Amino acid sequence: MKTIRLTVAQATITYLKNQFVERDGIEHKFFAGCFGIFGHGNVAGLGQALHQDPDFPFYVARNEQAMVHAAVAYAKVKNRLESFVCTTSIGPGATNMVTGAALATINRIPVLLIPGDIFATRQVAPVLQQLESSSTQDVSVNDCFKPVSKYWDRINRPEQLITALPEVMRVLTSPADTGAVTLSIPQDVQAEAFDFPAEMFLKKVWTIGRTFPDRLLMERAVSLIKSGKKPFIVAGGGAIYSGATEILQKFTERTGIPVAETYAGKGSLPYDAPQNLGAIGVTGTPGAIEVAKEADVVIGIGTRYSDFTTISKSGFQNPNVRFININVTEFDCFKHGALPLVGDARLILEELDKELSKFKVESSYGDRIKNLNQSWDAFVEEVYTEKNEVPAFQGEVIGAVNKFSDAKDIVLCAAGSLPGDLHKLWRTRHPKGFHLEYGYSCMGYEIAGGLGAKMASPDSEVYVMVGDGSYLMMSQEIVTSIQEKQKLTIILLNNDGYSSIGSLSDSLGSEGFGTFYRYRNEETQQLDGGLLPVDYAANAASMGAHVIKATNVQELKQALTDAKSIDRTTLIYIEVDRKKGVPGFAWWDVAVAETSEQEKVKSSYETYLKNKKTQRYYL
């Protein structure tokens, strides 16, 4: 057997750069490169391997969590067919990635994490940044990745790499099992040489096939849909990842079955498709909420039915409602006692389109759906109408960005009050035009995610919409965007604190406590003094961004025009009214204090009990 002598780190990079995927006969490399921050746990191993191998591009990040977010955003734009490696040192560098790992796994997005680890030999323990345990020597902080990874392994001997790396790729390229994969490699093992089999480094193509469910289950699904008077589709991220958007539009236009979209599924249909009711769930449109409540057959496509989608298990109220779930993941397919169609969404929809060629919803139902689509669009247009208030209205800011952007452009957001407004209001024109991370609703994702999205779609303008709270948590990847000449347009909406959670606090009777950015009042010892003088514009400029300040939406529109011609990351700063918002049309189950001295809390608890009575088990 022919062998090649390489260090474990060199072998890892050589293997990964030769991994390809194909779907529908289209083949390309799986890894676009590696994000990293070097420390003593990886600089002499993976750092050296990356240095000597320029065919595997390396990108310096500013924060370990942020680089995982960038990798996730890249993979999401690429429909999970390409991804990045992220490498760190041991200790805090490694554990900084845990949040990113959880985000990737919850959202079913592939990313490979390679944190350095303590010495496998244990000779110099405790090494700098090592966690010691009095009960075992076989533990490190990297064990924290186990519950948030779809696959986890530690390489203590070089030959273990031979069997570990194929498992890494199996999980990363699996539509059903993908998520964060953690390969923990001790720093001494990274630098250790071994005679690896030469065939290990040959080009390997992983075929991502389109699976089809059991034929009997398909027949039952067709029969169930035919029996429905008010069928209803919930389009999740899987509809987009499988490339099922075209067949979904054809199927719904012909049958008249309405569609509502989750955060990940928004863009499954163009906003003006007559069957598109828009956002579903807690942040849904009135039409989507109303029709979901009455639906007798619910067809879930690539959705995991989060509490926001189901209105905390109260969204589907028809006593005879039945579910059909189309999903590559068996785990998600069986939710809500559904008839499970485990397989590829595009393939299954193509089959349903054939089998239901003569099926069409009743004309009264179809006309009602079209009217709901049009009435909601009229509502959106009213929100978007320029009012030029100071401070600005967040809905109007969204409208300005939406109307200015092109169909191929991407709006990106993750947390705060913006996601709910964007979910309801944004007029999607392209399957990749709406990029919301809401599986983990992770503050700080926005700018790092914008970087990854731009790298994945360089011909698109990426509009990062971020509140001041998320910006303060993680804005430093502005520097990376400048370094890599990946131009972002960041719209920073300042409402002086955590507006979204402040509104939730108000609704629960707690008056927004702890959600304003204010000085501590010396008399009350509460955080209810004057507003903090944070200069966000100066902060962004200090990292290399071009900065434009706008006081109203008219100035914002001019700023967007100016930003289009600027060749580097540009931040547009605007203050928005914290109290004025887009209305919500559904409740969300957040536990309220059962006993309190505050009357507002007591009142909120009574409302909470009434809403709890609408919740159901779908068995």
pLDDT tens figures, 322-333: 999 999 999 999
Q: How confident is the model at residue 558 (pLDDT cuts 50, 70, 90)?
A: very high
Q: Which fold has domain 3-207?
A: Rossmann fold (3.40.50)
Indicate the average pLDDT of the chain: 97
pLDDT band with cut points at 50, 70 and 90 for residue 511: confident
**Spatial CA neighbour of 444 closest among 469, 427, 478:** 469
In eight-state DSSP terms, residue 564 is H
Lowest-pLDDT range of 40-49, 503-512, 546-555: 503-512
Taking only the tens place, the pLDDT of each residue in 407-416 is 999 999 999 9
Strands of the sheet containing 259-261, edge to edge, are: 276-279, 259-261, 231-235, 297-301, 322-327, 339-342
| pLDDT surpassing 90 at residue 369 | yes
Over 90: is that where the pLDDT of 526 sits?
no
Domain 215-375 CATH class label: alpha beta
Helices (H), 78-176: 92-95, 98-106, 160-172
The pLDDT of 494-514, averaged and rounded, is 89
Residue 64: C-alpha distances to residues 7, 59, 203, 260, 529 (Å): 24, 12, 30, 35, 35
Sign of CA dihedral 475, 476, 479, 480: negative
Q: What is the DSSP letter of 592?
A: -
Q: How many residues does the chain have?
A: 619
CA distances to 24, 500, 506, 514, 606 from 591, rounded to whole Å, are 47, 16, 14, 18, 12
What local confidence, expressed as pLDDT, does residue 80 receive?
Answer: 98
Q: Is the pLDDT at 502 greater than 90, yes or no?
A: no
Name 152's bridge partners.
182
Instruction: Tally Cβ neighbours within 10 Å of residue 543.
Output: 17
Asked if residue 307 lies in contact with residue 330, where contact means CB atoms within 8 angstroms, the answer is: no
- Note the Cα 130 to chain centre separation in Å: 32
Domain at 387-496+532-575, CATH class: alpha beta
Contacts of 549 (CB under 8 A, 6+ apart): 537, 572, 573, 574
Q: Do domains 3-207 and 215-375 have the same CATH topology?
A: yes
Q: What is the pLDDT of residues 601-614, one digit of tens each?
A: 999 999 999 999 99
Q: How far apart are CA 390 and CA 388, in angstroms?
A: 7
- pLDDT confidence band for 505 (50 / 70 / 90): confident
**E runs forming strands in 501-607:** 546-550, 570-575
Burial class (CB in 10 A: 0-12, 13-18, 19+), 82: middle
Residue 148 has pLDDT above 90, yes or no: yes
Interatomic CA distance for residues 518 and 607, integer angstroms: 31
List the chain domain ranges. Answer: 3-207, 215-375, 387-496+532-575
Q: What angle do CA 107, 15, 455 make, to 5 degrees?
A: 45
